[in-house]
Amino acid sequence: MTDIGAALPKPRVDVWPALTPLLVAAVAAPFIGSTSTFVTLTLASLAMGAMLFVMASGLTLAFGMMDVLNFGHGAFIAVGAYSATVVYRFAAPLAGGSLALDLLVFVAALVFAALVCGALGFVYEKLLVAPVYGRHLEQILITIGGAIVIEQLLLALFGTEPIDLSPPLAFRGSLSFGEIAIEKYRLVALALGLALFVAQLVVLSRTRIGLLIRAGVENREMVEALGYRIDRLFVGVFMAASALAGIGGVLWGIYQNQARAGMGGELLVLVFIVIIIGGLGSVTGCLIGATLVALISNYAGFLAPKLALVSNILLMVVVLLWRPRGLYPLGAR
Amino acid sequence: MRPLSGDPPRGWPARILVALVALGLAAAPFLFTGAKPLGVAEKICVMAALAASYDVLLGYTGVVSFAHVMFFGVGAYGVGLSLYALGPSWGALALGLSAGLALAACLALAIGLFSLRVQAIFFAMVTLAVAYAFNVLASQLPDLTGGEDGRSFRVPEMLRPGYKLGEFLGAAVTGRMLCYYLVFAGAAVLFLILLRVVNSPFGRVLQAIRENPLRAEALGYRIVVHRTLATVVAALAAAFAGALDALWLRYVGPDTALSFSIQIDVLVIVVIGGRGTLYGAVVGAAVFVIAENYLRLAVGAASTATASLPLLPNLLHPDRWLLWLGVLFILAVRFAPRGIVGELARRADMG
């Protein structure tokens, strides 16, 4: 028996895009000067990147798997943040009890937001997305309509004023090592973001469900002919994507100390920049894109505050000139 | 001489509807008295022109842009800032208009060449990001743009409300009326030019690309070039509409010229009026602006009437007007994708 695996060409590993965050950090370091400021900024960026990744990964996942670009994804992020305010309102008497209790309420908020957004995602997929599969123009229009309706419903239910969403007491304050300081909450966000990244990779590449999803992307008819219900699988992917948006919304809402109906639209812009840079459909690209956007925002925010948002557009332009389909495009469809 | 480029609305119901709107707008200063109705008529003219230019992209080329209002804003700011800086002269107006048009064309060219290469869906995302950044930029450069407050400016004397020219058919001819007719004529000419464009060979290629990009490319038409040119044409038209609106308002600011809610309004107008007909933009704008100004009051009354019930008054509140618009928009995309004008034409074709 010859080893067939050895005879196959090895998949080409493209490492250059993965190194770009290091490049950006290396270029920015001399301009920032002080080492402690640089490390503090970089750590803060990594945490922000992790939150952006959680928000963006759902969108890129749904696009990669189902060829659906949900312009209402931002609205799901806002729904997640508002869900967290509901949990915190109920849990208000418990607040500040102990680390374990704070952690429990935080996890409860994450789970509740994921459930609410997942359920909403189910309805949204059935009512709006399923009828327009495969037609991008209609998809964009109908999901924009969905975004408007969800945002307005949030305003009607929760009022127009932003709702306070402070981090649990246990996560307030920061850890300092010499002159380097990092907020505890950012570490929590960073850990959660990385955990969700690994979880997505494992599910997609190591489980039966992931195998079916990837097979469905490659050849939908064949997988259906083998007796699998691709449509149910796709609903599941959409619900997972919505739940990720909800979790990201909780993380971002606590980070910003508030839930606002308008946050969805603003974040959608950032999330779009992230997944365009990363390559539509790629989870790994999404993580790198999110990190790049966060690094550039923080460095630019420190060096030239007025350019912070424009800097992201410039980053997008530069990346697309180098790789017109983003850093890690999914296939060549 | 064919002003409608041989492409009148299809079917008598649509023709009558479009003619009613056009005649109503043409005679508005004589039909109604008071400032509000004339303001509504002006808004219809501007929104119809803006929506028609958007329809060239959405309906005829099949690409979704979220930066269209940015071009509208470029035109408005061009005229506004020029009149503000150089004083109220026709020369300053011409200078501001040309500067706005030039900037809009350059921006559209850059965005189009850059983001229409890959997939049309890229264009939607990139334009959203660019429009957002432009909006932030405009409010962060207060020395140039007046920031969040915007700029109020004076227009040439003939167009000011205080200017009196005499009387005609029982109505006083004021600068306000002249300004209205300037906007009306500008919007009408713009509309006819756009109608000419979509009925030209170039417009036919756009529709071919919309229907089947692969086949159009196989026939030798460069997709990127055509889509980009369509973006530039639409951007120029939007900038012109913006300039007209700025003249009427005598003010430019982020809320009136760049706000994302105008973009949503334009999208709703084109979809509900009817994509790919241009006339849909006119009918849609009339329905939308009239509903926005008058139906909103009725919804507000319903909100007060149901004040004792839970949640319902919140849903019916005039500020939640966009909720019902969103629902209507979704229903239109799902069940009447041709819009008002398209459905009327289809019925006329069948009957």
* pLDDT confidence bin for A2, thresholds 50/70/90: low
B283 touches chain A (CB under 8 A): no
The answer to whether the CB atoms of B64 and A140 lie below 8 A apart is yes
Once rounded to an integer, what is the mean pLDDT over residues A241-245? 96
* pLDDT confidence bin for A332, thresholds 50/70/90: very low
ipTM above 0.95, yes or no: no
In chain A, which among 140-179 make CB contacts under 8 A with chain B? 140-142, 144-146, 148-149, 152-153, 155-157, 160
The answer to whether the CB atoms of A128 and B330 lie below 8 A apart is yes
Domains and their CATH numbers in chain A? 34-322 (1.10.3470)
**Residue A313: per-residue pLDDT:** 86
Instruction: Give the residue ranges of DSSP H helices in chain B.
Output: 12-31, 35-55, 68-86, 90-115, 120-140, 142-145, 175-198, 201-211, 213-218, 223-249, 254-257, 260-273, 279-290, 296-305, 312-316, 321-335, 339-350
Once rounded to an integer, what is the mean pLDDT over residues A107-134? 94
**Residue B113: per-residue pLDDT:** 86
* A114 bridge partner residues: none
**Residue B118: per-residue pLDDT:** 67
pLDDT at B21 over 60: yes
Structure confidence by residue, pLDDT tens digits, A269-308: 999 999 999 988 889 999 999 999 999 999 998 888 877 7
A138 touches chain B (CB under 8 A): yes
Once rounded to an integer, what is the mean pLDDT over residues B311-320? 78
**Residue A96: per-residue pLDDT:** 62
| Percentage, residues of chain A above pLDDT 90 | 45
Q: Report the chain A residue with the minimal C-alpha distance to residue B331.
A: A142
Structure confidence by residue, pLDDT tens digits, B184-226: 999 999 999 999 999 999 999 999 999 998 999 999 999 999 9
pLDDT at B293 over 80: yes
A309 touches chain B (CB under 8 A): yes
Mean pLDDT of chain B: 89
Domains and their CATH numbers in chain B? 12-350 (1.10.3470)
**Residue A212: per-residue pLDDT:** 87
How many A/B residue pairs have CB atoms within 8 Å? 99
Distance of CA A202 to the CA centre of its chain: 17
pLDDT at B238 over 90: yes
* pLDDT confidence bin for A231, thresholds 50/70/90: confident
Structure confidence by residue, pLDDT tens digits, A143-201: 999 999 999 999 999 988 999 888 877 778 888 887 788 888 899 999 999 999 999 99
The answer to whether the CB atoms of A310 and B133 lie below 8 A apart is yes
Closest CA to A233 of A149, A125, A307, A93: A125
Residue A182 main-chain phi, psi, to 5 deg: -140, 135
- The nearest CA of chain B is from the CA of A98 a distance in Å of 37
CB A311 within 8 A of CB A53: no
B161 touches chain A (CB under 8 A): no
CB A296 within 8 A of CB A311: yes
